[in-house]
Amino acid sequence: MKRIIFSYVSTNSGHKIAADAVKDVLQQKSPETSFLEIDALGYFSPAIK
């Protein structure tokens, strides 16, 4: 099984929308692939958020 990790920053949500679009296409072409989505903003310092 293939695994793909998508990392994005949720601020302004453009990155999330792009990651979802790519994921949707890849899922159609390879349904057996598993995906993990990570919001990198959760790993930032609170001062940056």
| Tens digits of residue pLDDT in 1-49 | 799 999 988 877 788 899 999 999 999 999 999 999 999 888 887 776 5
* pLDDT at residue number 34: 96
49 lies in a domain? no
Domains identified in the chain, total number: 1
* pLDDT at residue number 49: 57
Range of the domain at 33: 3-43
31 lies in a domain? yes
9 lies in a domain? yes
Residues contacting 1, CB < 8 A, separation 6+: 32, 33, 34
This prediction's pTM? 0.72
What is d(CA 3, CA 6) in angstroms, rounded to the nearest whole number?
A: 10
48 lies in a domain? no
